[in-house]
């Protein structure tokens, strides 16, 4: 197997590089603006780079008009980026190479279960977001697995137990909470490749963060738990681990987290209403030091 195209040199103290990586499945809202501005300010304050990645692997939901709206929203906010825009839909070869490496290592297995199968499993443990995968297909015998592979396309899952046995203890750094011992078991055997698109968010994001030289990941605290599994994938693939800044979520007047399905919260709605970027920033109470990494 030829070497993957996503491996980058791990140098001491590289320049700060952050990214904004929205999915074009709807219009951006104030929460997206908060995250984008914090990442942009961290990069610019340190003389580093801010890159834009379009996470469009969910081909059933992504729309060209939503991608165009992302560019319009960032221009309205006054945010620029360095280098060309990356699109995950153009990165399938890199993801396939990463998946192949994990399969060869013996830490990935095909899964034929549906969501209904998982929900119906009485023994399924629960994690932060609901039932964890109970390991049904991890325990298939070789003959059954081969027979099913011959007639249907599987998803692929990470065998977290086997992976941890290979890597040993890991940790990662969060700006607000400090060093965290990696605990990928809290999410169970996650999907690393969907049967319809050949990859999944967890795998694609670590491959792309490494390929773009991301040193600091700025994103919402709702992705805090996902970082544990991503740290494991980084170790397995020999990829560098960024620092993480999981910021507070921006919530609506009802106290609930914002969602793309709320048209009144979109940035385009703010523009149509005659609001300015300064009005938006004031509404977010974005303080200057929110986006600055603290000194060591």
> From the CB of residue 294, how many other CB atoms can be counted at a distance below 10 Å?
7
Q: Which residues contact 225 (CB under 8 A, 6 or more apart)?
A: 127, 128, 129, 186, 187
The DSSP element (H or E) to which 97 belongs, if any, is helix 92-105
Percent above pLDDT 70 for the chain = 83
> Coil, strand, or helix at residue 280?
helix
Does residue 11 surpass a pLDDT of 80? no
Q: How far apart are CA 22 and CA 67, in angstroms?
A: 9
Phi-psi region of 191 (alpha: psi -120 to 50; beta: other; left: phi over 0): beta
Which of 49-53, 133-137, 161-165 is predicted with the least confidence, judged by mean pLDDT? 133-137
Q: How far apart are CA 282 and CA 248, in angstroms?
A: 16
- Enter the pTM of the model: 0.87
> Coil, strand, or helix at residue 213?
coil
Q: What is the mean pLDDT of residues 148-159?
A: 96
Burial 93-102 (b: 16+ CB within 10 A, else e): ebbebbbebb
Q: What is the pLDDT, as a whole number, of residue 114? A: 87
Q: What is the mean pLDDT of residues 29-56?
A: 93
Q: Which of 243, 257, 260, 271 is catalytic?
A: 260
Residue of 267, 120, 105, 244 whose CA lies nearest to 175: 244
| 256 classed as catalytic | no
- Round the average pLDDT of the chain to a whole number and report it: 86
Q: Which fold has domain 17-291?
A: Rossmann fold (3.40.50)
Q: What is the mean pLDDT of residues 58-72?
A: 93
Q: What is the pLDDT, as a whole number, of residue 295? A: 33
Does residue 4 surpass a pLDDT of 90? no
> From the CB of residue 39, how many other CB atoms can be counted at a distance below 10 Å?
29
Using an 8 Å Cβ cutoff, are 158 and 190 in contact?
yes
Q: Which residues contact 79 (CB under 8 A, 6 or more apart)?
A: 20, 36, 37, 40, 50
């Amino acid at each position: 197997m030829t070497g993957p195209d996503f491996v980058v040199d791990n140098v001491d103290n590289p320049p700060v590089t952050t990214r904004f990586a929205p999915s074009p499945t709807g219009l951006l809202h104030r929460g997206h603006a908060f995250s984008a501005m914090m990442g942009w300010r961290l990069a610019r304050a340190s003389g580093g780079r801010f890159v834009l990645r379009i996470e469009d692997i969910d081909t059933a939901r992504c729309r060209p008009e939503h991608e165009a709206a992302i560019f319009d929203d960032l221009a309205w906010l006054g945010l620029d980026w360095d280098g060309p825009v990356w699109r995950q839909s153009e990165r399938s070869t890199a993801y396939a190479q990463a998946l192949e490496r994990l399969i060869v290592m013996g830490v990935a297995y095909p899964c034929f279960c549906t969501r209904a199968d998982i929900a119906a499993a009485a023994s399924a443990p629960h994690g932060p977001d609901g039932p964890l995968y109970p390991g049904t297909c991890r325990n298939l015998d070789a003959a059954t697995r081969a027979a099913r592979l011959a007639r249907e396309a599987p998803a692929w899952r990470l065998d977290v137990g086997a992976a941890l046995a290979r890597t040993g203890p890991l940790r990662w750094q969060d700006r607000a909470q400090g060093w965290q011992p990696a605990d990928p078991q809290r999410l169970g055997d996650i999907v690393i490749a969907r049967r319809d698109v050949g990859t999944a968010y967890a795998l694609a994001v670590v491959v792309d963060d490494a390929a773009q030289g991301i040193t600091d990941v700025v994103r919402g605290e709702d992705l805090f738990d996902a970082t544990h599994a991503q740290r494991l994938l980084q170790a397995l693939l020999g990829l560098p681990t960024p620092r993480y800044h999981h910021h507070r979520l921006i919530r609506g007047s009802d106290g609930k987290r914002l969602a793309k399905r709320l048209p009144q919260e979109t940035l385009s709605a703010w523009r149509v209403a005659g609001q300015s970027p300064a009005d938006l920033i004031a509404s977010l109470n974005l303080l200057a030091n929110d986006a600055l990494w603290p000194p060591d």
